[in-house]
Structure 1
């Protein structure tokens, strides 16, 4: 059986750990990882699914907002990942956006972001941790609920920005205890189109977290077989 190619985006340098873990999860379910960096822009690559990984904040210029915090942007990466998101939307490819990836997906579809979260925290700690110490409230009837089950789940938290207004066609499928969006999805996309604010690649020892990567690879395989 042919293995679907899953594009995994990231910065030009660094992020070796998370990208390796994403690739491991992709291989686990029969996919073939394709690591893409800003230096690869302009080259022709064939892929059947996409993972937009985490990293620096999304430049507020992309959603017509003024900077509210000290900037840490990667414009070259923004350009690459915007192009890949656009291709995934046009070709109706399955896509999983992780942390920054979820934010950029939302922005590309016309949504906006909260640029800082500390002032909005009431019931959730603002600390960063790779450990599953944060509560995810999964909304029933969503794709996320189908993959991870309804109710609550434990997730990690490595972000200082989050989704504010959802982009066109997106809906919130999970929140934290402060009602800040933790997952978005686009039900009319066809194959999987999901963005999660946490980092499931650091939690692949948990079956519910691996389900996200399994769904992505299976959707990519089905898409590959139809084309």
Structure 2
């Protein structure tokens, strides 16, 4: 067995390859071994030491008791896979990082809801929709004292990217909101009773040129190392 913990990374069966490559690189730099998780494989049996739920298309609204948007693109199979892993990871204390759509899946899997549209709910939501805007635009988030995300990033506020058009509404059971934008949009959620169960609305895989964002992946892999060592001790 490799010394590198295996980090399962969810993605759609087709597409989102750039985001997956960026996450996989961040995992490797942190000392982990990335393992792709898609609906085209036996994903329930994947032997992983940590989990990353990646970004992508919208969560199917009936999962949180809302109507689907006509002509919207949904990936029902991926929803099933990621809901399973979000709940399994939480029940087994598997170190988990959820990114953008992943954070929304994490919340819905815990019984929470989403805002399908930000307009009319929040002010100051003139976020970019072009590729240059997604690459360059930054907004400030404020993090809660004592939270995992603040401990990792090392300060009360940071600037992050903006590649989303939905947001967390009602928070899921036993999850807590630990970062928001100034307009109230949720940017991080956690389960403080778990070793590492963190969802972020922004995309740290595209911010790894900054040391503080690489620490998110460092801490996930470190938690996976510790969990693996604990498991080995209990079995010996």
TM-score by length of 2: 0.91
1:79 is paired with a residue whose SS is helix
1:159 is paired with a residue whose SS is coil
Alignment of 1:131-170 (within 5 A): 131-170=136-175
* 1:217 partnered with 2:221: yes
Is residue 118–residue 125 contact of structure 2 (8 Å, CA) maintained in 1? Answer: no
Q: Could you say which residue in structure 2 is the equivalent of 1:114?
A: 115
Q: Could you say which residue in structure 1 is the equivalent of 2:205?
A: 201
Give, in angstroms, the shift of residue 199 of structure 1. 0.6
Alignment of 1:33-44 (within 5 A): 33-41=34-42, 44=45
Which stretches in structure 2 are left out of the alignment for 5+ residues? 232-236
Is residue 103–residue 163 contact of structure 1 (8 Å, CA) maintained in 2? Answer: yes
Tell me which stretches of 4 or more aligned residues in structure 1 moved more than 6 Å.
Answer: none
Is residue 124–residue 176 contact of structure 1 (8 Å, CA) maintained in 2? Answer: no
- Go from structure 1 to structure 2 and tell me whether the alpha carbon gap of 1:46 and 1:144 turns closer, same or farther (over 3 Å shift): same
Alignment of 1:185-200 (within 5 A): 185-189=190-194, 191-200=195-204
Alignment of 1:175-190 (within 5 A): 175-189=180-194
Task: Report Cα offsets for 1:53-110 as digits up to 9, x if no partner.
Answer: 0000011111111235752210011111112112212221010000000000000000
Distance in 2 separating the partners of 1:208 and 1:192 = 17
Q: Could you say which residue in structure 2 is the equivalent of 1:172?
A: 177
1:55 is paired with a residue whose SS is coil
Q: Could you say which residue in structure 2 is the equivalent of 1:49?
A: 50
User: Which stretch shifts more, 134-143 or 99-108?
Assistant: 134-143
Q: Could you say which residue in structure 1 is the equivalent of 2:234?
A: none
1:188 is paired with a residue whose SS is coil
* 1:93 partnered with 2:94: yes
- Go from structure 1 to structure 2 and tell me whether the alpha carbon gap of 1:52 and 1:43 turns closer, same or farther (over 3 Å shift): closer
Is residue 132–residue 154 contact of structure 1 (8 Å, CA) maintained in 2? Answer: no
Q: Could you say which residue in structure 2 is the equivalent of 1:20?
A: 21
Is residue 118–residue 126 contact of structure 1 (8 Å, CA) maintained in 2? Answer: no
Distance in 1 separating the partners of 2:73 and 2:226 = 38
Give, in angstroms, the shift of residue 130 of structure 1. 2.9
TM-score by length of 1: 0.95
Q: Could you say which residue in structure 2 is the equivalent of 1:103?
A: 104
Q: CA RMSD in A?
A: 1.5
1:153 is paired with a residue whose SS is strand
Distance in 2 separating the partners of 1:216 and 1:175 = 21
1:88 is paired with a residue whose SS is helix
Which stretches in structure 1 are left out of the alignment for 5+ residues? none
Give, in angstroms, the shift of residue 41 of structure 1. 3.8
1:216 is paired with a residue whose SS is helix
